[in-house]
């Protein structure tokens, strides 16, 4: 099975937030480009470091799916 997901570079922290409440969209899947070139999927959680995410966005290393994907959380 092959699963393909179209992504775009994140431009702002707002893309990881609920547009109505302006709070983190818990479970939102995003992709981080590693320094070595690989890509790993991650999810927004209560523990997500906002400053680290802002750094990744400014470096152009954070991608979000065109179609929102929400992972199951506890």
Q: What pairing do the DSSP bridges indicate for beta strands 29-33 and 39-43?
A: antiparallel
Instruction: Give the global pTM.
Output: 0.89
Query: Are residues 69 and 29 in contact, defined by beta-carbon separation less than 8 angstroms?
Result: yes
Distance CA 57, CA 30 (A): 11
Which DSSP state fits 56?
H
Tokens coding 15: 């893309």
Residue 44 φ/ψ, nearest 5 degrees: -75, 130
pLDDT tens string 7-43: 999 999 999 999 999 999 999 999 999 999 899 999 9
pLDDT tens string 43-70: 999 999 999 999 999 999 999 999 999 9
């Amino acid at each position: 099975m092959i699963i393909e997901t179209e992504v775009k570079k994140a431009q702002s922290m707002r893309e990881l937030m609920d547009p109505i409440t302006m709070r983190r969209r818990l479970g939102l899947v995003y992709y981080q480009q590693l320094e070595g070139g690989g890509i790993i999927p991650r999810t927004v959680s209560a523990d997500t470091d906002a400053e680290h995410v802002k750094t990744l966005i400014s470096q152009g290393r954070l991608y979000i799916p065109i179609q929102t994907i929400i992972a199951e959380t506890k």
